[in-house]
Each structure stands twice: as C-alpha cells, then as structure tokens.
Amino acid sequence: MNPTYDFTGQVALVTGAASGMGLATAHAFAEAGAAVVLADLNADALDQAARQLTAAGHQVLAAACDVTDEGQVAAMVDQTVHAFGRLDMAFNNAGIQIPPADAADEDIEVFDRVNAINLRGVWACMKHELRQMRTQGSGAIVNCSSLGGLVGIPGRASYHASKHGVIGITKSAALEYAPRGIRINAVCPGTIDTPMVTDMIANGELDRAQAEADQPIARLGRADEIAQAVLWLSSPGASFVVGVALPVDGGYVAR
C-alpha cells in the first residue's frame, strides 16, 4: 500500500522523465494531483510518456532537454513557469551509467561525460529551479544521487565521483536555501530494476543474481519505490528534512 499525497495546484518538474525512476516519479506526482513537467533527452520516449499521462487526464508539459546544456535547462524552467505559473517541486534525476573501468585506464572523455550529465546536469537544473523558487520563497528539490554517492565500488570511480558530487552540492545548497523556505535533499537509490540496470545485465556488467544477493533485502528495488521516497521528501511530511542523502537501497549501505 502506498501513502497518498495531495499536490493539487502544485507543479512538479522531473528530469530523465522518459524512463525508469523519472517516469515512475512523474506518474506518482501526476496521480497525486500535481501538474507535471517531463524533461528528457530522448524525444520519442518523452512524447510517449507525455501522451500516456495526458490520456489519463493529467496536466502535462513535455520539455525536450539535454541537461548538459545550461541554455536548454534555463529554457525548460522558463517553459514550466510560462505553462503553469510556478514551480513547487523538482526531481533532478537524469543520469547515465558508464562501463566499469580500472581507475588507471579510464578515458578522460568518459569521466567528463558522466560528470557533465550526472553532476553538472544536476547543478544546472538546481540553479535554474532555484531562480524561480527563490522568487516564490518556497519549493522542494530532490537530487538523484546513488548508493554510489555514499560508498566506493571497484571499477566505478568516475560514476561514483559524479554521485558523491551530487551530495556535496545538495548539502551546500540546502544550507543556503533552508532559511529561504526551500528544502533540498538527495535520494540514494540502490540497484533498481530500470532500463539502465537491464542494459547493465544485458551487457554483462552486472549479474542479476549477484546484484540481488548484494542487497540485504535480497531483491532489486522497483522504480516506484524511489518515486515514493521522492514524493515524501517533496511533501510537507518532510518539512524538517534538509540536506539529507537518503539511502533507498534495501539496506545496501547499512552494512
């Protein structure tokens, strides 16, 4: 059973909304009554996701956006405010995984790419969301980190650098904006059964049975379980929660 939220009259923005956790979170925000802005690089998948939500009677705006391009990010937030008049909640979730590599052999291009999307993308989104939220004097932002923001794993230095960075900007901005009525937190998913993980399994980068065994709860997480954490962090129920990096990982980092 899921708890219910009432976000009627509020506006939620989700990046990476065409797939996986972003898609599940966009659905959850819409079902809780929010107008939802879906932002993603993949225009076809974005269009499909937006059609599905619109057909279900929700208020939806699809914004094609590459989060590595600050101009596109700024335009996405402008579109949001133009369409719905405000921005109350944002889930900065767009991200990629990269193949594992020996830390001594990783290409600089791969390091730059994963950090441009996973870290600088969150930075750009948060920057432009805050410009709107500070004029309102209210808002809640959830940035997507990972268990990779909390621990190291051999072969994963560049990805984990990006996700540790997300926690750094989350905490600092959270301290800056808590006195101004805006709460900023991060969610740290464990291994979640999304297309990203399906691809890792298909590529032989991850063994499903091993991944299940690695999580104390002995299964992979579901995208809707991350959505529920994001909705709670965005809700008045989390009104005293500021600057946390919340593991939602079946116990992975508790060991």
Rounded to whole angstroms, the Cα distance separating 122 from 129 reads 10
Q: Which stretch binds ligand NAI (CB under 6 A): 3-11, 59-67, 83-91, 236-244?
A: 59-67
Sequence-distant (6+) residues with CB within 8 A of 206 are: 191, 197, 200
Query: For the chain, how many helices (H) and strands (E)?
Result: 9, 7
Beta carbon nearer to ligand NAI, 18 or 28:
18
Rounded to whole angstroms, the Cα distance separating 154 from 158 reads 11
How near is the Cβ of 140 to ligand NAI at its closest, in Å?
18
Q: Which stretch binds ligand NAI (CB under 6 A): 27-35, 38-46, 126-134, 167-175?
A: 38-46
How near is the Cβ of 68 to ligand NAI at its closest, in Å?
5
The helix or strand, by DSSP H or E, that contains position 11, with its residue range, turns out to be strand 11-15
Beta carbon nearer to ligand NAI, 81 or 151:
151
Q: Is 191 one of the binding residues for ligand NAI (CB under 6 A)?
A: yes
Give the residue numbers marked as catalytic: 159
Contact code string over 66-105 relative to ligand NAI, x by CB under 6 A:
xxx------------------------xxxx---------
Rounded to whole angstroms, the Cα distance separating 184 from 243 reads 6
Beta bridge partners of 201: none
Q: Is 42 one of the binding residues for ligand NAI (CB under 6 A)?
A: yes
Q: Is 22 one of the binding residues for ligand NAI (CB under 6 A)?
A: yes
* Cα four-point dihedral sign 22, 138, 179, 240: negative
Rounded to whole angstroms, the Cα distance separating 11 from 240 reads 21
Q: Is 170 one of the binding residues for ligand NAI (CB under 6 A)?
A: no
Beta bridge partners of 89: 12, 140
Q: Is 117 one of the binding residues for ligand NAI (CB under 6 A)?
A: yes
Choose, by CB under 6 A, the member of 16, 139, 165, 250 that binds ligand NAI: 16
If DSSP states are collapsed to H, E and C, what string results for 32-50? CCCEEEEEECCHHHHHHHH
Q: Is 194 one of the binding residues for ligand NAI (CB under 6 A)?
A: yes
Binding site for ligand NAI (CB under 6 A): 15-16, 18-22, 40-42, 45, 65-68, 93-96, 117-118, 121, 144, 146, 189, 191-192, 194-197
